[in-house]
Amino acid sequence: MSGRRIFVLIVLLIFILFFPFRIVQLITLLYLAVLGLSYFYAYVISRYVVVLRREQTLRTHRLEEVEAVLFVENRSFLPVHYLTITDRPNHFFLTGPGRFLVSLAPRERKKLSYPLASQDRGEFTLGPLVVQGSDPLGLFPWVTRLTRHEDQLRLIVYPEVHPLDLEHHKGLPAGNIRVESRIFEDVTQYRSIREYIPGDDMMRISWKASARTGKLCSMDYLPYLHVPVMIILNLAREDYPLRYRYHYLERAATMAASLVTYFVGLKQEVGLVTCASIKGQSGFPAAEIRGTHGHALHLLEILARVQASAEHMNFNSLIQASGIRIPPQARIEVITPLLTEEQRAFLRRLKERGCAVEVFLVGTSTWRAEELRVRAMISREFTVFSVKDYGSELVYK
Amino acid sequence: MSSSINNSSISKQYFRFYRATAHPLLSIFIPLLFLLTLHSMLQSLVPGLSIPTPLLALLLLIVGFEEALAGNIFFKERVSSFVRLRELILILLLVLPILFAVHRIPLHLRNLLQPKLLYPLFLVLLQWLSSLALHNRLRERELFLSVIAGKRGSQQTQALRDSSMQAGYAIKGIKEVQSTITMFQVVIFVLIIATIVLGKELPASSLVLATLHASSGFLFSGVLNLFSEDQMYLGNGFVIPPRLERKRLIYIAVLLGVCLTLVLLAARDSSLLPLSWLLALLEKLAQLFKYNPDYGVVEGLRKMIAERRQSLQSLLPAREAMPLSLLFKLILALLKRLIRVIAFTALFFFLAAPLFSDYFLKRVRQLRPLAFLWRKIRASLLYLRRTIRRFVLWLKTSGTRRKPAAEGKKPLQTHPFVYRESRRPGLRKKLQMGRVLKAFARMLKWGERIGVPFFPANTPQEYTHRLAAAAPGTEPSLEFIVQVFEEVMFSTHLVDRDRISRYLKVVYGLCRRSF
């Protein structure tokens, strides 16, 4: 309460206590009662109207809508004519305003929701929630800022994910990817029985069928491939051209997220090594090759939070620093701008170990003759894709 | 309930409510209640100020309404302050005869300076000026609302941005009105204390008025706070719907009602603590801040005042001794009359100037008052002639008129709106005919639009046949229309209400169709 109001209050009290005149008491008591009741109303409402969030953490992809839900509850015995609730959206691009005008009956609870969509990937905090109201006479307006940790909403925005269609030629047999090559026949996946062809393995002959038909019969199996995938994401700031740097970095993150989603969708094991940084964490973020959905979410969270690294590191050191073992016949997906000679040498070694190396080059549209020549050299050694600058179709050969 | 800026706006209708009702009422009743309470207090302090309170209330109310109404009209026309000044003078000139009549004082200029007249006149002047000032302050808000009324979404945001300065003026205006209310409250409170200190008796009406004034002060203040909060919310992107505003007003009324009830129960003519305690406390406080004045300085001041007074008094006899020449007296009298004549002439021209303006004369010429007067006189003369003729006819046929029915023989029961002897339709029948005719005329216009003009030689039946040929599929409707039209226009009975409403529905439905 302001000093002026306290002074008025003291004067009124003096009049009420010491002046034995009905008219004076009537007027002063009226002032006092109105001020007192208004103050009481404002105090009770500001204390007993609570706003809660349904979730503490929300997860979404970039440019995808997610619904933020609030519950406002009047725990007092007084009705609320109206009050406003504003959820500070911080960096968000909102599709609906997080502002509400609410009228509440005693003990009433209401659900409020609004859509959110972010233009940037990353980890953000929503809030603080600001609740604003006043007593009916407007003598005691109040504002409450809910700044406690539980009043704030953590929002993790994954990179965009676009559909991919990649070819599968190499890998380990007995997996989940259906391929055409008979080399990867999975003996647990029975297909049919056919006539024996000279050259068929003796192990494949079905003796029971041969006895029944009087001819030699061979078992046919479905070819399935298992590909442990290691994604190497290069987000070293200096490797990207200055022009459109931010855009290309985001595109690289999008490519990585799409690969994660794609391979997890094929029930493959995926790992991640990045030449990037996460705010508040030291070292380069990395994750071992695993194949669960929880692991996929972990990878996406890493990709949501990674930022361009000021430090450059070659792939060999990166893998060694992460301590992750790359299995033989693994598929190495490298997302990077132009490869250096050192990086190519590392990838060549991996290829010699039987790994399938695929390079996704980012920012190729701005390349000049020299860079295109290097690209031609790389494509002679590895499978090379160019990442498109815009659109949902991510790659082209 | 929850709402936000994207799907709501301040409607034009609601804005008109503020302009035509809410703001004028505030600007009328804030000074009105203050002046009435002030009057009741002053009556206790100065018993000579006597004017019946109901009459004063009525006068103040009328003046307030006049100001609000004229203010709104003049604001639309953007008139100068001279027009408002003229309006004020006219009001005072109109109020004067009423006051003369109330006090039964002869209507003469020399009686004008009596306090009996000047006091209510002054109150009327105060009411008008206060209403004007408050209304002008609230008009800033009207201007602000006029910019955003009826706009939604981005348009509203844009309008809010454009009118940020006006928004500032609006808030300033509201604050000024609130300050006026506070000032009025303080004045009344001080007057109450003064009345008690002077030992004057306060009548019960003063008690009621003072309580009403205090509670209305809170009410008005609450409403103004609502306005300023609404504007603040508007700046934050919220538009408060009217029903929530009404809800808040109900809460205000409930709060004030509760407070008034409590206060009426609690207030009494005895204090909780004796006044001597307060005096003792004040004395102790005074002792804490004891001050020893320098008596030498005080004495010096006294001497100086006495000397000044002596020097001034010495001048007085000298002035009295100075003789005035006859010529000077004549010139003085002439000058006085000249000034009076000039002043009255100027006042007359100031008041009568609008009657000589080109606009007014043009408007009068358009209205053709002489023609209007002649029309009225002619109508009156014709009516007089008709009445005389009837009277003469009545006199002539007085012996040959039919005698009333014999006793015990009841006249036949007829419909109340059907007259056997005269075929003149009753009022309800006339109204019904008017409605049906109006609808039929509308149908004629529609027919003209679709290329079937009405010829005076056509009967309704013939015309609808032509219409049906031009507008296929409307034959049943047209047949029904003609049926009802003929029944209503050429019968003496009232047609069933449902049938009429069906007729109107069919006509209006037909008129909406296009071919």
Question: Which residue in B has a C-alpha nearest to residue A30's C-alpha?
Answer: B263
B251–A19: do the CB atoms touch at under 8 Å?
no
A22–B207: do the CB atoms touch at under 8 Å?
yes
ipTM of predicted assembly, 2 dp: 0.73
Interval A372-393: pLDDT, tens: 888 888 888 888 999 988 888 8
Q: Which residues pair with A72 in a beta bridge?
A: A51, A110
A17–B4: do the CB atoms touch at under 8 Å?
no
φ/ψ of B393, rounded to 5, equals -60, -45
pLDDT over 50 (residue B238): yes
Helix (H) or strand (E) holding B15: helix B12-17
Q: Which residues pair with A307 in a beta bridge?
A: A277
Contact list in A for residue B153 (CB cut-off 8 A) is none
Q: Where in chain A is the domain with CATH 2.60.40.10?
A: 48-157
CA distance B288 to chain A (A): 20
In the three-class reduction of DSSP (H, G, I as helix; E, B as strand; rest coil), residue B3 is classed as strand
Contact list in B for residue A112 (CB cut-off 8 A) is 2
- pLDDT class for A284, splitting at 50, 70, 90? confident
Q: Where in chain A is the domain with CATH 3.40.50.410?
A: 229-396
In the three-class reduction of DSSP (H, G, I as helix; E, B as strand; rest coil), residue A241 is classed as coil
Of B1, B238, B264, the CB nearest to A99: B238
> What is the rounded distance in angstroms from the CA atom of residue A298 to the CA atom of residue A304?
10
Q: Which residues pair with A185 in a beta bridge?
A: A223
In the three-class reduction of DSSP (H, G, I as helix; E, B as strand; rest coil), residue B294 is classed as coil
Residues B79-99, mean pLDDT to the nearest whole number: 88
- In chain A the first and final C-alpha atoms are separated, in Å, by 71
Residues B230-246, mean pLDDT to the nearest whole number: 87
Interval A30-48: pLDDT, tens: 999 999 999 999 999 999 9
> What is the rounded distance in angstroms from the CA atom of residue B500 to the CA atom of residue B496?
6
Residues 6+ apart with CB under 8 A from A357: A332, A334, A347, A350, A351, A382, A383
B4–A22: do the CB atoms touch at under 8 Å?
no
Class of domain A229-396: alpha beta
> What is the rounded distance in angstroms from the CA atom of residue B375 to the CA atom of residue A149?
86
Query: What local confidence, expressed as pLDDT, does residue B319 receive?
Result: 56
B185, B188, B234, B251: best to mutate for the A interface, most A CBs within 10 A: B251
> What is the rounded distance in angstroms from the CA atom of residue B223 to the CA atom of residue A372?
74
For the CA atoms of chain B, what is the radius of gyration? 37
Residues 6+ apart with CB under 8 A from B29: B64, B216, B220
Share of chain B above pLDDT 90, in %: 37
Q: Count the neighbouring beta carbons within 10 Å of the beta carbon of residue A267.
A: 12
Q: Which residues pair with A178 in a beta bridge?
A: A224
Mean per-residue pLDDT over chain B, rounded = 85
Contact list in B for residue A21 (CB cut-off 8 A) is 196, 269
> What is the rounded distance in angstroms from the CA atom of residue B14 to the CA atom of residue B3?
17
| A153-158 and A122-126 beta bridge pairing | antiparallel
CA distance B172 to chain A (A): 16
Q: How far is CA A45 from CA A107, B283, B339, B406, in A?
A: 11, 43, 68, 84
pLDDT over 80 (residue B222): yes
Mean per-residue pLDDT over chain A, rounded = 87
Q: Are A349 and A374 a contacting pair, CB within 8 Å?
A: no
The residue whose two tokens read 């953000």 is: A124
Share of chain B above pLDDT 70, in %: 91
Q: Six-digit token pair at A135?
A: 């007593």
A26–B228: do the CB atoms touch at under 8 Å?
no
pLDDT over 90 (residue A72): yes
Q: Are B215 and B256 a contacting pair, CB within 8 Å?
A: yes
Q: Six-digit token pair at B200?
A: 């004057």
Across the A/B interface, how many CB contacts are shorter than 8 Å?
139
Q: Which residues pair with A132 in a beta bridge?
A: A84, A143
pLDDT over 60 (residue B454): yes
Residues B484-506, mean pLDDT to the nearest whole number: 91
Residues B392-411, mean pLDDT to the nearest whole number: 66
Q: Six-digit token pair at A247?
A: 């855009």
A101–B266: do the CB atoms touch at under 8 Å?
no
Q: Six-digit token pair at A348?
A: 């060549």
- Look at residues A151, A143, A133, A125 and name the one whose alpha carbon lies nearest to residue A70: A151
Contact list in A for residue B236 (CB cut-off 8 A) is 84, 86, 99
Query: What local confidence, expressed as pLDDT, does residue B180 receive?
Result: 95
Q: Which amino acid is at A396?
A: Y
pLDDT over 70 (residue B402): no
Interval B280-289: pLDDT, tens: 888 887 777 7
B2–A29: do the CB atoms touch at under 8 Å?
no
- pLDDT class for A3, splitting at 50, 70, 90? confident
Q: Is residue B327 classed exposed, middle or buried when 0-12, 13-18 and 19+ CB atoms within 10 A define those classes?
A: exposed
Share of chain A above pLDDT 90, in %: 31
Query: What local confidence, expressed as pLDDT, does residue B317 receive?
Result: 61
Q: Six-digit token pair at A138?
A: 């407007």
A33–B3: do the CB atoms touch at under 8 Å?
no
Interval B98-144: pLDDT, tens: 888 888 888 777 777 888 888 899 999 999 999 999 999 999 999 99
The residue whose two tokens read 């005149």 is: A21
Helix (H) or strand (E) holding A83: strand A80-87
Interval B257-280: pLDDT, tens: 999 999 888 888 777 787 788 788
- Look at residues B216, B215, B209 and name the one whose alpha carbon lies nearest to residue B192: B209
pLDDT over 90 (residue A259): yes
In chain B, count H helices and then E strands: 18, 1
φ/ψ of B274, rounded to 5, equals -65, 145
Contacts 24+ apart (CB under 8 A), A295-299: A295/A270, A296/A260, A296/A261, A296/A264, A296/A270, A297/A59, A299/A260, A299/A270, A299/A272
Q: Which amino acid is at B217?
A: G
Stronger pLDDT, B477 or B352, i.e. the higher one: B477
- Calculate ∠ Cα B381-B385-B387, nearest 5°: 115
pLDDT over 60 (residue B481): yes
- Look at residues A173, A175, A192 and name the one whose alpha carbon lies nearest to residue A184: A173
Contact list in B for residue A41 (CB cut-off 8 A) is 255
Residues B441-470, mean pLDDT to the nearest whole number: 89
pLDDT over 70 (residue B416): no
What distance separates the 2 farthest-apart alpha carbons in chain A? 127
> What is the rounded distance in angstroms from the CA atom of residue B487 to the CA atom of residue B503?
12
Q: Which DSSP string corresponds to B356-423?
A: GSHHHHHHHHHH-HHHHHHHHHHHHHHHHHHHHHHHHHHHHTTTTSPPPPPTT-PPPP--TT--SSS-
Class of domain A48-157: mainly beta
DSSP state of B450: T
Share of chain A above pLDDT 70, in %: 97
Q: Are A221 and A200 a contacting pair, CB within 8 Å?
A: no
Residues B72-90, mean pLDDT to the nearest whole number: 86
